[in-house]
Copies of this chain bind each other. A is one copy, B any other.
Amino acid sequence: MTSSNPIVDALDAAGYRLTGPRRAVADLIAGYDGHFTAAELEAAAREHRVGVSRATLFRALELLTELHVVERLDLPGGEHAYVPCVRAHHHHLVCSRCGRVAEVEDCGLAEIVAEIARRSGYRIESHRLELFGLCRHCQAKAAPGA
C-alpha cells in the first residue's frame, strides 16, 4: 500500500508537492466511503496518530476540492460535509442515516436545466443537485418486518 492512492496521484499530477501531511490526509480520505466532516477528519487524524494541524487539514481539503477529487456537500441540516469523488460532473445521493454517498450521473437533468433557462431567461452556468434518502442497507434496517 505504498500509494496507489488516486488522491495522491491527483496531487502529483497537478504539480503539488507530495508531502507527508498531504499523503496522510489523502489516505485518511480514501478510507471513507461516505461523507465526512472536517471535524471527523480531524478526529481520525488524531486517532491514527497522524500529526496534521488543523490549518493543514483545511488547506488540503481546499486543494482537493479544487482538484475535484473531493467535493463539499451541504447537508439538509446546514452542516458541511466532504465527499471523495471522481472528476466528472455528477451529483450526490446521500443516505441520511449512514452517510453513505452514491454518485449519480446527469441522466436527463441537462435538458431540464436548458428548459429552465429558456423559461426564465437566465443564462445558467452551473447547477447542483443533492438528493437525500435511505440507502438499501438502511431501508432494510428501518423496516425489518415489511
Interface residues of A (CB under 8 A from B): 72, 74, 76, 78, 80, 93, 95-96, 102, 104, 107-109, 111-113, 115-117, 119-136, 139
Partner of A122, one of B72, B74, B135: B135
Residue from A120, A122, A133 with most neighbouring chain B CB atoms (10 Å): A122
Q: How far is the CB of A133 from chain B (nearest CB, A)?
A: 4
Copies of this polypeptide in the complex = 2
28 of the cross-chain contacts (CB-CB < 8 Å) are A76-B126, A78-B80, A93-B116, A93-B120, A95-B122, A96-B125, A104-B116, A107-B116, A107-B119, A108-B112, A108-B115, A109-B109, A112-B112, A116-B131, A122-B131, A122-B135, A123-B133, A123-B134, A124-B132, A124-B133, A125-B132, A125-B133, A126-B133, A127-B130, A127-B131, A128-B130, A128-B131, A128-B132
Given contacts A112-B108, A115-B107, contact A133 B122 (CB under 8 A): yes
A128 CA to B94 CA, complexed, in Å: 12
Q: How far is the CB of A144 from chain B (nearest CB, A)?
A: 15
- B122 close to A127 (CB less than 8 A): no
